Amino acid sequence: MTLTRRDFSRLAGLATASAFVPSAHGQTGQHPIGWCVVGLGRISMDHFMPGVKLSQKGKIVALVSGHRDKAEKQATLYGVSQSAIYNYDNMDAIRDNKEIDAVYIALPNSMHAEYTIRSAKAGKHVLCEKPMATSVADAKAMIEASKAANRKLMIAYRCQFDPLHIKAIEMIRSGQLGQIQGIESAFGFNIQPGEWRLDRKLAGGGPLMDVGIYCLNASRYLTGEEPQEIKAYSSVIDHDGRFNTVEENVSWTMKFPSGIVAACNTTYGGNMNGYFRVHGAKGAIEMLPAFNYDGMHLAGQIGRDQKIDELSPVREPMEFTRQADHFADCVWNDRTPKTPGEEGLRDMELMSEIYQAAGLPGL
């Protein structure tokens, strides 16, 4: 997806008309958060940066990239000064750029820890993409560095800010579905050869680290519990050279303290449209798709008479707007983010357990 200035004008009009547009920053008396984007790939250029463009609480003020020509094009599009374009070697100089309040890390997984720690040491708050890191030790180091610098660290679990995900949680918490008995969730796709995600050194693992983490995180926030028992299986079915260092499939179950069992699947070998399904004593709900950038659909039945059939009003790239605006509020008001580093660390620990239960090396 390549956005032109005309596209941005259209999106801005959409934002103005939407009931989900964040409140103007003028109401807070604060200046917009200045974002430095580290890594110019698909998720940053096609999703996060357009999301910030719609925001009234933030703006793109700096870029870090190993490709100067690409960075210059993005700088022109977002009004970033040429002097605010950095490379990976001189990135530490962001400490001297007072326009930068926060850094968005959109690099391959193995680079998350290094650049989060460098950003924190430069005195900047950090919003880091998931998975948080490629090892539990690195995740802990990221948290420690942010605390030492007295900076915020948030992990980009955007689904936790989606109104339909929030509604599903509220329905479960309020008892509308009765006692929850089980959860099912899956997410996967048929990955193309040559993707960096197929290199364990860069990705840390296969589909579990990339898209399976959505199922893991959803099971945790839907139940509001932490799993106490995990069983898992892993397999490589397509011996075509793609899966020499990472798994192709992972399936796992998690038993929670209440007795709820979640059954999850993830793959790089075929298309699994991400979903979750929650079964309760009084009814059931399903979100399909559940983890897309927009178009989430919540459906279900409670008792004989109550049907649920709702489509999320949030449109791409506004999930990223909501996420960035939450972070801005946390910075302005000195609040802990909804999805802090500790949330990312917990998923890292659990993914390590899943790998070990499947007979693979832990993280």
Q: Which residues are catalytic?
A: 130, 214
Side-by-side strand order, sheet with 297-302:
229-235, 249-255, 261-267, 180-190, 269-280, 283-287, 297-302, 306-311
Structural tokens at position 182 = 């089980």
Structural tokens at position 200 = 């364990």
Q: How many helices (H) and strands (E) does the chain have?
A: 12, 14
Side-by-side strand order, sheet with 125-128:
85-86, 58-64, 33-38, 102-105, 125-128, 153-155
Burial grade of 186 (CB within 10 A; 0-12, 13-18, 19 or more): buried
Q: Are 256 and 278 in contact (CB under 8 A)?
A: no
Structural tokens at position 163 = 């109104």
Q: Are 338 and 217 in contact (CB under 8 A)?
A: no
- Measured on CA atoms in the order 178, 183, 189, 194, is the torsion positive or negative? positive
CA dist list (Å): 57 to 28, 160, 219, 303: 10, 19, 31, 43
